[in-house]
Structures are given as C-alpha cells and as structure tokens.
Structure 1
Amino acid sequence: MEQVYASIITIGDELLIGQVVDTNSTWMAQELNKAGIWLKRRVAVGDDKQEIINALNDQAHDTQIILLTGGLGPTADDITKPVLAEYFGGKLVVDEKTLAFLHHLFENIYRRPLTERNLKQAEVPDVCTVLPNARGSAPGMWFEKDGRVFISLPGVPHEMKGLMTTEVIPRLQQHFTMPHIAHRTMHTAGIGESYLADVIQSWEEKLPAHLKLAYLPNYGMVRLRITGSGPDKDQLDKDLDTEFAKLKVLVKQWMVIDEDLPLHVVVGKKLMEQGKTMGTAESCTGGYIAHLITSVPGSSAYYKGSIVSYANEIKENVLHVSPATIAATGAVSEETVRQMVKGALDALHTDYVLVTSGIMGPNGGTAEKPVGMVWVAVGNQEKIVTQQFNFRFDRMRNIEMTANNSLNFLRKFIEEQG
C-alpha cells in the first residue's frame, strides 16, 4: 500500500501581496492528513492564466491529488474556471442543478435579484464532475487526468470546508486505497530544543522506521510529535502508544500535557477538574490572554472576567495598587504585580488570578527595564507567586510570548494547589 500525496494550489493576487492570509491550506492539510493523505506541497499563485497552468503541471509530476482554492467568483479577476476548461480540453456549459440552486439561493436565502453575472456561477467545464456547494454559489469541480485527481474549490473558507467535508474527502477515500496516518503529540516547557534532543537522542535513534519524530518550538515551548503510517490501524496505534509512553517517561519533568492542545485550553481543563474559577488583570497584554481563554466554547464555566489595567490610574483606582508602590518601583515590578493580584481577587471574586505588567516595545524601555521585560504574578487567597521574563522580539511577538508563558506559569500553580 503506497502513500498517497497531495498538493494545494491557492489562487489569488490578494494572497501574494499579503492582503489576505491563507488559512485554507492549513485547515485542508489537517483534514487530508486525518484521511490518510500526506500533503507534499503548498503553492500560491496569482490570478494569471499561465501561472495557474504552470502550477498544475508542476504539481502533477509527483502528487496524485491536486487541490485548488480560489478564483471561482463572478467577477473578471476570477479566471480559474475558464483556465481549467482549457487545461482539461473542455468548454463551459450551464449545469442545470447548479442553476436551480442559484435561483433558490438568491430568491429564498439572499433575497435579492439573480443577475447575469451571478448566473455565470452555474457554468462549469463539461469535462468535470460537479460538486454541489450547499453553502454558496460556486460549485466545486472534480477532474481526472493521467491518473491524477484535480479538485477546484471556492476560496471562501466556509464554503471550502463544507465541500471538503461532504464531497471531497469521502470521494478521495473511495477513489484511493491509503495507509493510515496517526500522530501522538505532547507539549514541553522549560527546556530548549537542542537540550531536549540530547535528552531523548538514544530513544529517537531506536524509533521504528515507520515512525518519525518532529520538534516544533513555539512561544518558549517545544511540541514533540510522533507521526506514523501503515496499513494496519490497530498495529500503528499500538506502536505509537508504546513509543509515546517511553517518551513521556524521558521528558516527564518538562511535559506540560500529553495532548496537542494550546495552553489556554489546558488551563481551562485544569480549572474544570478542580471546579475552580479564574480571572485576569492585564496591563502589557491588553486583554490578549482574556481573548485566548474566552475563544474556547464553555469557558464561562471557569473564567469570570478581566480588568485591563493599562494605565497606572486604573491599577490604582480599580485594583488598588498603592501610588507609592508605583512611584517607588514602577508599574513593571514585582511589588506592583503582587498588589494587582490582591486587587483582582477582591474585584473579580475568583479562585485564581493571573496578572501581567511589562514593556512590549518598540519604545518605552530603559537600561534598567528594557523592552521585553515582563513581570507575571498568579495567586489565590492563600498564596501569590511571581516571575520575571525577558523577551527580545517585536511588540506582537512579545505579547504572545508573555501570554503563553503566563498561562504556563498559572498551569503549574493550579497543579500545585490541586
């Protein structure tokens, strides 16, 4: 059983100039991987006929599946359909089922006239299999040529995801016989990538040939992911579980969680296990930590709220930090974040509080307190602990690093209290 490989071609000038961020490829890669298809390459091209044709030819050399997104709209710059019709030797014709759906969509859902421009959406190459798009006006298209499958999908993420889930993945699983792909992932913190590699070198060298280890450093943490592929799912899972258990023993003192979950989700799980609540008082992160936590459905069960105390007068008037403390030690200091914890506990009535205060840059630093210096505090009614961090990145990266390291600091505190 041979591995099946795919390529993704994203189409649109807006992607090349950075006006739109390509999130489609990331999501598609994850779904393909779950289905046993390994993504070999991601390519972005502009709204240019020859560039699209070149990309199709290039990707067809060594991948069995070529997926395209974008360029299926009703405007002049959406050229994917006519290019595909020419590439596969067909002509554009009206698909009656798509036309009927367009009338329904505009009359009953959009409640606006169906224009001649919109009617063009019903045109498809006569050499494709039409994939009905229940979420929008542009259908997907399935082509086959020289043993390859080419699939064209809308660039609108909501529509693309619907087509991938209901049409593309099921059809690919019927069309190809594929090995199983599975992963085991853990997060580590407090150890660098190179030192971590030294710790697990002997184990890594003895991994079976069908298992591979990847190091994924990010935000001061390192994810370790074991990936395996094989024809027998049960045996593959057994092999992965065996090696993952060995790895967990080796890195036990640095392991944050043995699942592929972000820290704000991990913290939420810990709070749910204890039946406890938390709140935040953020200065330098400006509510970013609150945003991460509340992005999780159901977080209202353990998260009460935040006080974004960006200005000193908010620290003093809302969190009751002493003006004398700020005058003596500054807003970015251990003394200040300790008092912020006490004030937040009183104001928010939570079991735990997480506090940040720092200098994110690019300005505002001094020799004593440079850009990237951050004080973090976590605490409850019985105990407050603090930690200083020093980051060296741009403003947004410093905020993200502060959030991640603060959440990990809180995670350890919650575990100790539990």
Structure 2
Amino acid sequence: MQAEIIAIGDELLIGQTIDTNSAFIAAQLNLQGIKVWQKKVVADTADAIRSALDEVHADTRYVFMTGGLGPTKDDITKKTLLDYFGGEMVFKDEVFEHIRKLFQGFNREPKEVHRQQAFVPSSCEAILNETGTAPGMRFEKGDRYYFSTPGVPYETEHLVADKIVPWIVNTQMEGKLYHKTLITQGIGESDLAEMLTEWEDELPAELKLAYLPSPGLVRLRLTGQAETKEKSKALVEEGIAIMRSKLGDLIFGEDVSSLEEIVGKSLQARKMTLATAESCTGGYIGHLITSIPGSSEYYLGGVVSYSNALKMDMLGVKAESLEAYGAVSEQVALEMAEGLRKRTGADFALATTGIAGPGGGTAEKPVGLVWIAVAGPQGSRARSYHFGNHRQRNIRRSALMALDRLRKEVQKIEI
C-alpha cells in the first residue's frame, strides 16, 4: 500500500514552523507497512491545495492532508475540499456538542466562529477530534481515501494514531508486510553494518534490513514480505532474535520507544529515583526525562551548573579539582554526580560537562569533548567521548549517551 502526505501552510514554507506532522504521520504508517511515496508542503491557497491533490500518484491509496482547518479566515482547506469533492456544507450536531462541552470546561460559551467548525462537506465522513474544535475528515474518491486533519500537532497525532490508522487497519489492511525496528545507541551505522554483515549477506529475498541513522541513534528496521502476513511476521521475529544476540545491550528499545522512556520504566520498576547535573547539555537531559508522562515518580530534578561557581556552590565540586583538572574532566564530572546524589538523596545522579562548541576548545580538550558520570548504589563511573564540532548535535548526542550510560547502570540492579 502507498500513501502521500500534503502539509498545508505558509508558515511551513517560510520556516516559521517546523513540519512535525508529516514525520509523525509517516512513522505511524511505517508501523503498518504502508509506504509513503512522497511528502509535499504547499501554500495555504486553494490553487496550491487543488494542484497537490491533482498530482497524487496513480498508485497512491491514502492521502493525508494536515493544516488549514482552524476557525480563522485564512484556514481555507475545508472550503477547498468542498469544491474539490463536491456536496454542500452540513451541520454535525455531535461535533458541535463536543465543542460546547469543551468550552463549558473553561466556563465559556462557544462563539459563532467556533460553531462554524461543526459544518463539514456532505461528501466526507467527519472524524470527531477530542483534543480540539476542528473535526478530521475522510473523503473517498474511486479506490482512494483522503484524510484531512488540523495543523495543531497534538490534534493531528490524536486523530492519526487513535482514529485514522486504526480505521485503515480494521477496514482496509490485507497487506503481507511486517515491520519491526530495533533502536541502538552508542555505535555508528558503519560499525553496526560490520557486525551484521555476514548475517545480512545471507538474508532471504523476503527480508530486507534498513539502517536509519540520526544524531546519537541508529534504527534498524527489518521488513518481511512473504506469501502471508503470518509468515512475514515469523521471518522478521526470527531475524530480530538473531540481531539481538549479535548486538546485545547496544539495543535499548524497539519500534517507537525512546531512551528517556526506557530509563523511566527501568527506574519505576526498581522504585528508584534520579537527579541530573548538567553543564554542556544545559538542561536538555532534564527536558527529555520530563517529556515522559509520570516522570515525577522517579525524577527529583536537576541543576544546570554552567559556571564553576555554581558547580562548587550547588554540587560541592572542589575548587582545587577545578584548578588542577579543569571543568571538563573526569574528576569534576564525578564530583558533580556524587555531590548531587548526596545533596538530593537520589538513587542515581547523572552529570555532564564538556565543550559543546563551536569555540572554546584546545589541543588537549577539543570541541566535542564530553565527560559523563553516573553515581549510583554500585559506585561512580565517568567516561569521556568526542562528538565533533556541531553544537546542537553535540548536545543531543551527549544527552542520549548519558541516558544510555544511566540505562545500563540501572538495569544492572535486579528487580
């Protein structure tokens, strides 16, 4: 099966807003073995939307449109789709009742502009949006389905993951493809390929391995396409077992799991707590951890100790250590982690100190040098890494490496 994604909005074209909706939709489709043929970003005009719809590939079964469904006059997608698919605007009582209850929760009454959200083309099936006022819409033309969702990311994510993809799976799927993805950290794509090369060379024609690298992570997606979905799944599961045996703890999760989620679950399972001391990562580790619902059960908090004075005052780093070794050193990383663990009472403390760049490096301590320390019930350990000279990538890679170091330490403790 093949799909296309059309993201609508001038703000996407001028770089004012990042198009995260297309990435989310593509990831959800990939989990079901639906290939995304292409993604387009078009202007918020009727001509641009119609042109994108006219240019959909002949083999495309599903078209996802996101954006332009709000209550303001510049949101023209609904009117354009009415003209394109025909019919008339009809009022949906169930949509307006949802809108009314939504506003009731804020002690407000919906205005006429909000009431207009309950009108949809008669040529579509309205999809109730529990997270906002604009419903999603499903159109059908020939053997192709078109789905339209609002541009607000959490609304699109809800509609796609909870409504649209389940509808496709339950009513349309007869595919024979099966995907599974393993996620690795701390090793590059070429090194992974070397570890798997003999096995990969012997893969049957029904199996295909794809390497999907990103800063700090490499995803390994194994796809099976046999005579039946059941055989495809069996081939993939057998392959995944072999990959796990070869890669060991380089693998931290599968499919859409994240390091911060895995770390959180590991801490929760052991009823243990965490605190963070960040210098070069500037609070990014804390941000990742707290992006997971329920993280307050295990995350006590963190200190962003950018200056040496704060390292000493808040974390108990010794002045003589800073003088003798410098802020970016094994000794200081260990003292940051141990000092924070002592002051907070956390079971684990995680610390980072480094040179994110692009300036500040020396011959002895180049840009990209990062020390990561973990202090826990089994002692304290620190290790250095070199991540290159790109500041944002360094921060991201440092944070992921720190979380992976923490994951391995936590998982050494039996539940």
Are 2:97 and 1:125 aligned?
no
1:98-247 residue pairs with structure 2 within 5 A?
A: 100-101=96-97, 104-105=100-101, 108-109=104-105, 112=108, 114-164=110-160, 167-173=163-169, 175-229=171-225, 232-247=228-243
Is this contact kept in 2: 1:279–1:354, CA < 8 A?
yes
Counterpart of 2:63 in structure 1 is 66
Is this contact kept in 2: 1:280–1:306, CA < 8 A?
yes
The separation in 2 between residues aligned to 1:339 and 1:382, in whole angstroms, is 16
TM-superposed deviation, 1:76:
2.6
1:45-60 residue pairs with structure 2 within 5 A?
A: 45-60=42-57
Q: Aligned with 2:120: secondary structure?
A: strand
Amino acid paired to 2:182: M
The separation in 1 between residues aligned to 2:53 and 2:393, in whole angstroms, is 36
The separation in 2 between residues aligned to 1:43 and 1:174, in whole angstroms, is 27
Is this contact kept in 2: 1:179–1:230, CA < 8 A?
no
Amino acid paired to 1:73: G
Change in CA separation of 1:231 and 1:41 when aligned onto 2, cut-off 3 Å: farther
Is this contact kept in 1: 2:89–2:119, CA < 8 A?
yes
Counterpart of 1:406 in structure 2 is 402
- TM-score, normalization by structure 2: 0.87
The separation in 1 between residues aligned to 2:332 and 2:163, in whole angstroms, is 56
Question: Gaps (5+ residues) in structure 1?
Answer: none
Question: What does the per-residue CA deviation read over 1:77-97, in whole Å, with 9 as the maximum and x for residues that have no partner?
Answer: 212122222222x25433253
Q: Aligned with 2:213: secondary structure?
A: strand
Question: What does the per-residue CA deviation read over 1:284-329, in whole Å, with 9 as the maximum and x for residues that have no partner?
Answer: 2222212222332333444333232222112112222221221222
Matched length: 413
Change in CA separation of 1:383 and 1:162 when aligned onto 2, cut-off 3 Å: closer
Is this contact kept in 2: 1:92–1:123, CA < 8 A?
no
The separation in 2 between residues aligned to 1:87 and 1:118, in whole angstroms, is 24
Is this contact kept in 1: 2:374–2:405, CA < 8 A?
yes
Counterpart of 1:86 in structure 2 is 83
TM-superposed deviation, 1:362:
3.0
Q: Which deviates further from its counterpart, 284-293 or 188-197?
A: 188-197
Of 245, 254, 257, the residue aligned with 2:252 is: 257
Q: Which deviates further from its counterpart, 320-329 or 102-111?
A: 102-111
TM-superposed deviation, 1:50:
2.0
1:355-374 residue pairs with structure 2 within 5 A?
A: 355-374=351-370
The separation in 2 between residues aligned to 1:231 and 1:379, in whole angstroms, is 51
TM-superposed deviation, 1:103:
7.4
Question: What does the per-residue CA deviation read over 1:338-394, in whole Å, with 9 as the maximum and x for residues that have no partner?
Answer: 222331232122333221111222333334333222122223366332212222243
TM-superposed deviation, 1:47:
0.7
Question: What does the per-residue CA deviation read over 1:229-267, in whole Å, with 9 as the maximum and x for residues that have no partner?
Answer: 456443333211211122222333x62335343223333
Question: What does the per-residue CA deviation read over 1:1-57, in whole Å, with 9 as the maximum and x for residues that have no partner?
Answer: xxx211111111111122222222233233334455333322211112222112112
Counterpart of 2:343 in structure 1 is 347
- TM-score, normalization by structure 1: 0.87
Q: Aligned with 2:254: secondary structure?
A: coil
Q: Which deviates further from its counterpart, 367-376 or 119-128?
A: 119-128
The separation in 2 between residues aligned to 1:69 and 1:407, in whole angstroms, is 34
Question: What does the per-residue CA deviation read over 1:177-224, in whole Å, with 9 as the maximum and x for residues that have no partner?
Answer: 421543333233454322321332232133233322111223344322
Counterpart of 2:16 in structure 1 is 19
Q: Which deviates further from its counterpart, 25-34 or 371-380?
A: 25-34
The separation in 2 between residues aligned to 1:26 and 1:389, in whole angstroms, is 30
Counterpart of 1:7 in structure 2 is 4
The separation in 2 between residues aligned to 1:64 and 1:263, in whole angstroms, is 34
Is this contact kept in 2: 1:188–1:257, CA < 8 A?
yes
Amino acid paired to 2:12: L
Are 2:333 and 1:330 aligned?
no
